[in-house]
């Protein structure tokens, strides 16, 4: 294999590896990540510069939350979540109520909520990776970034299995050729006694 072919193969394998990682991020944006983490894509600049637009954030439920924590919380729309910083925590009607605010916003969000409304606290983030993850959730993105690479990987693995089977069959065929015909078939003296007696009787008859 030439150097150019080797470099090309390394590039292709690297791209496929990155697409596999991207696919995992997409999957875990729908189901909990191991360790009870959940993955969200930040779609606005309300938390900049702490969290940039397009970042992928990992949140995890905590036993308690305090002022200064960045949390992802539910809204009245089940499809929409907000990731903002807690700016107040107080007791209201016997329950702890929280209020959040985006770092880049001038005022708080204007609604208070209990701990049940919090999905989790931001643990770490990956800048900009949210853009391809968001695109991969669309139909064209799913085909281009998930389905096509998956087909390529499966096709490549099937070819490897096919070549391995061919190699095994070739080795078996080579061993049979090396063994050659049975020496006893050509040399009667090496045949078992009862075969020699039968052959002798045939000649007499």
Mean pLDDT, residues 41-64 taken together:
91
Whether residue 54 lies inside any domain: the answer is yes
pLDDT for res 183: 53
Residue 122 confidence (pLDDT) above 90: yes
**Do both 130 and 167 map to the same domain?**
no
CA distance 88 to 123: 20
Task: Give 13-38 pLDDT, tens digit per residue.
Answer: 777 777 777 777 776 666 666 778 88
Domain end point (choices 137, 170, 194) = 137
Of residues 167 and 24, more confidence is placed in 167
Q: Is residue 42 part of a domain?
A: yes
Please, which residues have CB within 8 angstroms of residue 63's CB and are 6 or more apart in sequence? Answer: none
Q: How high is the pLDDT of residue 205?
A: 46
Sheet holding 56-60, edge to edge: 38-41, 56-60, 118-126, 70-74, 81-92, 95-101
Mean per-residue pLDDT for 151-174? 83
pLDDT at 15: 74
In the block, residue with structure tokens 């096709």: 155
The residue range of the domain holding 160 is 152-204
Averaged pLDDT, 123-134: 82
Is 168 contained in some domain? Answer: yes
Q: Note whether residue 143 is domain-resident.
A: no
User: What is the arithmetic mean of pLDDT over 98-122?
Assistant: 94
My answer on whether 161 and 132 are in the same domain is no
Residue 161 has pLDDT above 80, yes or no: yes
Residues 159 and 80 occupy one common structural domain: no
Q: Is 20 helix (H, G, I), strand (E, B) or coil?
A: helix
Average pLDDT over residues 46-59: 91
DSSP three-state, residue 67: coil
Low-confidence winner among 53-67, 72-86, 162-176, 185-199 (lowest mean pLDDT) = 185-199
Q: With H, G, I as helix, E, B as strand and everything else as coil, classify residue 33.
A: strand
Mean pLDDT, to the nearest integer, of 81-98? 92
Give the highest mean pLDDT range of 58-72, 155-169, 182-196.
58-72
In angstroms, rounded to a whole number, what is the distance separating the alpha carbons of residues 25 and 33?
9
Q: What is d(CA 88, CA 107) in angstroms, rounded to the nearest whole number?
A: 12
Quote the tokens at residue 107.
Answer: 């005022």
Clarify whether residues 67 and 27 are in a common domain. yes
Residue that is last in its domain, among 137, 164, 184: 137
Whether 62 has a pLDDT exceeding 90, the answer reads: yes
Q: How far apart are the first and last CA of the chain?
A: 68
Give the pLDDT score at 126: 86
Residue with tokens 């969000």: 109
Nearest-angstrom CA–CA distance, 18 and 24: 10
The residue among 79 and 141 whose pLDDT is bigger is: 79
Residues 79 and 9 in one domain: yes
Rounded mean pLDDT of 154-183?
76
Same-domain status, 118 and 194: no
pLDDT top residue among 158 and 194: 158
Torsion of Cα atoms, 7 then 12 then 16 then 17, to 10°: 0
In this structure, the number of other CB atoms found within 10 A of the CB of residue 109 comes to 17
Enclosing H/E stretch for 88: strand 81-92
User: What is the overall mean pLDDT for the chain?
Assistant: 79
Q: How many domains does the chain have?
A: 2
Tell me, what CATH number does 78's domain have?
A: 2.10.109.10
Are residues 133 and 180 located together in one domain of the fold? no
Q: Are strands 70-74 and 118-126 parallel, antiparallel or unpaired?
A: antiparallel
144 part of a folded domain: no
């Amino acid at each position: 294999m030439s150097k150019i072919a080797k470099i090309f193969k390394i590039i292709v394998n690297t791209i496929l590896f990155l697409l596999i990682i991207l696919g995992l991020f997409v999957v875990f944006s729908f189901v909990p990540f191991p360790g009870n983490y959940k993955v969200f894509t930040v779609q606005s600049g309300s938390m900049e510069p702490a969290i940039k637009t397009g970042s992928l954030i990992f949140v995890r439920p905590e036993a308690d939350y305090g002022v200064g924590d960045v949390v992802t919380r539910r809204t009245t729309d089940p499809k929409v979540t907000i990731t903002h910083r807690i700016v107040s925590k107080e007791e209201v009607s016997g329950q702890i109520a929280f209020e959040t605010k985006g770092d880049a916003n001038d005022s708080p969000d204007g609604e208070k909520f209990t701990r049940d409304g919090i999905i989790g606290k931001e643990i770490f983030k990956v800048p900009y990776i949210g853009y391809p993850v968001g695109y991969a959730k669309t139909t064209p993105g799913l085909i281009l970034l998930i389905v096509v690479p998956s087909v390529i990987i499966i096709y490549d693995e099937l070819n490897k299995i096919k070549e391995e089977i061919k190699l095994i069959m070739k080795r078996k065929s080579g061993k049979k050729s090396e063994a050659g015909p049975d020496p006893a078939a050509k040399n009667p003296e090496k045949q078992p006694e009862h075969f020699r007696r039968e052959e002798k009787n045939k000649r007499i008859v």
